[in-house]
Structure 1
Amino acid sequence: MRVYLPSTLAALGRVLADGELGPAPLAGHAVTPALIEWYVSGDTEELEYVALTEAARSSLRMLAADLADGVDVPPRRVVLAAEVPDARVKAGVDLEERSWVRLAEPVPLSKIVSAHVDDPAAEDDVMAAIDALPAADGGDDDALFVVDGAEAHELMWYATQELPDLVRWREDKG
């Protein structure tokens, strides 16, 4: 099963250093029976895009938590796509989180097939979305509009051999 795992560039650096994404349990997004039922007219590609988009929203929250904790990380959403055996994926039952899945084990780096990452040009909009999250969660429509603005940026696709180049941002700051 293709699972979309939210991340950040700092977390991606740890994945590359450790050789796996963990520790478990891990929350991710995938094409689940609930998502298929909800999005009846969608083909597999459309359903995977929905799961990817949900993972990007989760990445935004990870970025907000990292920045609140003082972690030095660029405001760019990161989603890691991995191939995980179906038996290791447990789908959620929450109707609001139709694509939500839980993995009980870490994901080896060898199972990650690609990364989807914001272009640096998206950083201002992603930062604005991070700042607007608390108000958006409180129901503020203007703040929700700002959060949704980050989604106007399509995530760029990266092959696994390009992942080390993505985490070199720390060296480039030098």
Structure 2
Amino acid sequence: MRVYLPCTLPALAKALASGELGPAPLIGYAVTPALTEWYASGDTEELEYVALTEAARASLRMLAADRADGAPTPPRRVVVAAEVPEAMLTVAVDVAERARVRLAEPIPLAKVAAVHVDDPVAAPDVELAVVALPEADKGDDDARFTVDGAEAHELMWYATQEIPSLLE
């Protein structure tokens, strides 16, 4: 099953060095039965895009958490797409996050199919979104608009062999 795992550039560098995404448990996003039921008219490609978008939003949250901890993290969302056996997944029951899954084990980089990353031109909007995220979570419409500005940027696709160059 294709799973979209939120990440950051520093976390991706750690995964490259260790050979796996982890530690477990990991939160990811996939085409779950709840997502399929909710988005009844969508085909598989559309549903995977929804899961990718949810993972990109979670990456934004990871950026905010890193910044809160004082970690210097480039303002670019990162989503790792991996092929994972369904037996490794537990589907979340949260109605608000229909695509959310939990992975019980680290993911070897050999299971990674691709990496999706913001283009550097998106960095100013991502930076603003990281700052606005706490207020957006509280329901502030202006802050939500700012977060939506980052989400308006499409993530670029990178093959796994491009990861080292991406991290340079």
Same fold (TM over 0.5): yes
| Residue aligning to 1:89 | 89
Which runs of no fewer than 5 residues in structure 1 stay unpaired? 169-174
Alignment partner, residue 166 of structure 2: 166
Question: How big is each residue's C-alpha offset from its partner over 1:103-157, in whole Å with a ceiling of 9 and x where there is no partner?
Answer: 0000001001100000000000000000101111111001001001101100000
Distance, in Å, in 2 between the alignment partners of 1:69 and 1:88 is: 30
Superposed counterparts of 1:1-174, under 5 Å: 1-168=1-168
In terms of mean alpha carbon deviation, does 61-70 or 18-27 score higher? 61-70
Q: TM-score, normalised by structure 1?
A: 0.95
Structure 2 Cα separation of the partners of residues 20 and 161 of structure 1: 15
Quick one: distance in 2 between partners of 1:115 and 1:9? 11
SS of the residue corresponding to residue 116 of structure 1 reads: strand
Distance 1:123 1:74 in 2: 8
Distance 1:86 1:67 in 2: 33
Deviations 1:3-56 (A, max 9, x none): 000000000000000000000000000000000000000000000000000000
Report the alpha carbon displacement of residue 68 of structure 1 after superposing the two structures with TM.
Answer: 1.6
Q: Once superposed, what is the RMSD of the aligned Cα atoms?
A: 0.5
Residue identity in the other structure for 1:62: M
Name the CA distance, whole Å, in 1 between partners of 2:144 and 2:103.
29
* Amino acid across the alignment from 1:40: A
Identity %: 72
Cα offset, 1:90, TM superposition: 1.0
User: What SS is found at the alignment partner of 1:114?
Assistant: strand
Q: Tell me by how many angstroms 1:79 deviates.
A: 0.1
Where does structure 2 lack aligned partners over 5 or more consecutive residues? none
TM-score when scaled to structure 2? 0.99
Deviating 4+ runs (over 2 angstroms) = none
